[in-house]
Chain A
Amino acid sequence: MIEVDHISKRYGNKEAVSDVSFDVKDGEILGFLGPNAAGKTTTMRILTGYIPPTAGTARIEGLDILSQSIATRKLIGYLPENPPLYGEMTVEGYLHFVARIKGVPGADRLRKVEEIMMKCRLVESSQEGGDYRHRLIKHLSKGYRQRVGLAQALIHDPRILILDEPTVGLDPKQIIEVRELIKSLAGTHTVILSTHILPEVSMTCHRVVIINKGKIVVEDTPENLTQQLHGGDRLVVEIKGQLETIERLIKALPGVRQITSKPLNGSGAHELTLEVTSDRSVRNSVARAVLESGAELWSLRPVSMSLEDIFLQLTTSEQEVGGEQNGSALAEPQTSEGIDRES
């Protein structure tokens, strides 16, 4: 159980996190979502005791992170954005050291290190892969470093796991493996997972907190979020005619929430994107309005919103959405750059 209680963090005049509160229940996986520099890492660093908050506090399993810092740190496994690895140590030596400072008793240490290396596929009994235990960490590839980082976070079998972008830098196969690993922790571990890759959230998380510019924008289950915005549909309408008149007419219709337009290449026509209530009659009235104004109606099609759209809508300001909205497929990690640019 993690209870975050009105946490704020200021750096000089800049507020990195402002008044953030949320709870994570036992055994739940919480997705912490937001563009870069939204305050995800800062919040996680506060929870793990790395940096103190400017205001507010949090409780982990009922223990206060400020006054009972050492006790809470024992409960947490933490994978920072850049895994904290000693390049000059071997994988095994490093994991032994971490097990020691995390307070794994000496008798269990050998077994734990062995177990975790198996679990994170750092030693493999069969086929491909290999034995990485005696490799120096500085010679490992990014993917394997990330695995060592994950192993480091899991070594003392913590009840709470805080993972800052755990799948960054991994190849698609490794991403799937890590997600499976995280999913397998549900129920026995309470997990906070930050990411800006949206499918990751719908695949692994029970609940989502979207944060932007240091503030929580929305908090819900991934299903509800998608549902909610399925409820609100989007219409893409292509028209040719007097743009201003049509926009004015459509805006006046009941059920239309928002309207954005852009010209279609060379044809003199425009593409309007309308956000409307899920009521189907809206489509009818939109079509009628366009035709009555004397313009040509080229096409009208409903588009349902995906988690990506919700994310963009919640985390970017309105004009920006207008420009980039339709191409916002963030299915691949590489394209997550798109979010960074816009925010």
Chain B
Amino acid sequence: MRNIWAIMQREYSNYFVSPIAYVVITIFLLVMGFFFYYILRLFVQNSMMASMQSQQFGGMAPPMDVSSMVARNFFETLSTVLLFMLPMLTMGLYAEERKQGTLELLMTSPLTSIQVILGKYLASLAFFLSMLAPTFLYFLIMQVYSQPHFPWSPVLSGYLGVLLLGGSLIALGAFISTLTENQIIASVSTFGVFLILWVLDFATHSGDSKLGEALNYLSVLNHFDDFSKGVIDTTHIIFYLSFMAFALLLTLRSFESMRWRQ
């Protein structure tokens, strides 16, 4: 446990010694801030239009839950943006160590492979959290100005979903990083794989063959939809957890096989 913590701390602070972390966080927050503003404005406008229309024709405006609509659209956008951002977090995890030869230090220290892998995984997860945390402010601000106050549950379930989705993609990206010595190759192939997972999601919307169903189940983004709607379904939680476990297992195997590939 102490060893995992040591690896994690080093890896986490390593993000902040290079400009990558600051660039990633800044751009991420800029983009998400813009989307939040845009989505919020769109729904506020829509609801105002709806109430104006209903006043013209007499009668009550249909009830509109602006906050949960905003949350839903925001998290859907967020999940897409993650496809672009997360490869930056995972590309260096192993590729850079291999290139610099520091893997030799880790592999000849009294550390088990599992400790190294979990330490690194938790570090990227922690970095992901620190990048995600400021977006919570958006909802806090929205809460302050909304009348009546909206319920937190759809927002929290959205964050739970983002966390599970992010955790799965990070685990997959970490695995890809073990396969190469080159950060660029790691980042481009991670992005490519994420994109395929994303496209898989499109493909499953058409056709309802057995294959389509299987692909549908494997689509990482598909399982995310319910969370952004405010529904927490254990099927999806189990899917993401097993996805993470599988990716970590692949990382472990690949990491151990590096000893034979030297």
Closest A residue to B5 using CB positions: A100
Q: Is the pair A70, B102 in contact by a Cβ cutoff of 8 Å? A: no
User: How far in angstroms is the closest Cβ of chain A from B92?
Assistant: 11
Docked complex: A234-276 residues within 8 A CB-CB of B: none
Query: What size tier do the contact residues of chain A reach?
Result: 20 to 34
CA distance in complex: A73, B111 (Å): 9
Residue contact B102 to A85, C-beta cutoff 8 Å: yes
Q: Main secondary structure on chain A at its contact with chain B?
A: loop
Which chain A positions have C-beta within 8 A of B110? 70-71, 73-74, 101-103
Residue B262 interfacial (CB < 8 Å): yes
Contact A50 to B102, CB < 8 A, known contacts A73-B109, A101-B7: no
Q: Is the CB of A102 within 8 A of B260?
A: no
Q: Is the CB of A97 within 8 A of B6?
A: yes
A49-B107, A70-B110, A88-B17 known; A101+B6 contact, CB < 8 A: yes
Interface string of B248-262 (1 = CB under 8 A from A): 000000000001101
User: Interface residue tally of chain B, by bracket?
Assistant: 20 to 34
Q: How many whole Å from A185's CB to the nearest CB in chain B?
A: 19
B108 touches A70 (CB 8 A): no
Residue pair A98, B18 in contact (C-beta under 8 Å): no
B-contact 0/1 string along A51-77, CB 8 Å cutoff: 110000000000000000011011010
Q: How far is the CB of A139 from chain B (nearest CB, A)?
A: 13
Contact assessment for A152 and B6 in the assembled complex, using a CB-CB cutoff below 8 Å: no
- Interface flags for B106-118 (1: CB within 8 Å of A; 0: not) read 1111111000000
Q: Is A87 an interface residue (CB 8 A)?
A: yes
Distance of A102 Cα from B262 Cα, bound (Å):
22
Which residues of the partner chain B approach A85 to less than 8 Å between Cβ atoms? 100, 102
Residues of B within 8 A of A45 (CB): 104, 262
The answer to whether A101 and B100 touch across the interface, beta carbons within 8 angstroms, is no
Residues of A within 8 A of B100 (CB): 84-87
**Is A82 an interface position by the 8 A CB rule?**
yes
Q: Which residues of A contact B103 (CB under 8 A)?
A: 84
Q: Is the CB of B14 closer than 8 A to any CB of chain A?
A: yes
A144 within 8 A of B: no
A-B contact pairs, 22 of them (CB 8 A): A45-B262, A50-B107, A50-B108, A51-B259, A51-B260, A73-B108, A73-B109, A73-B110, A80-B108, A84-B100, A84-B101, A85-B100, A87-B100, A88-B14, A88-B17, A88-B18, A101-B6, A101-B105, A101-B109, A102-B110, A103-B110, A152-B105
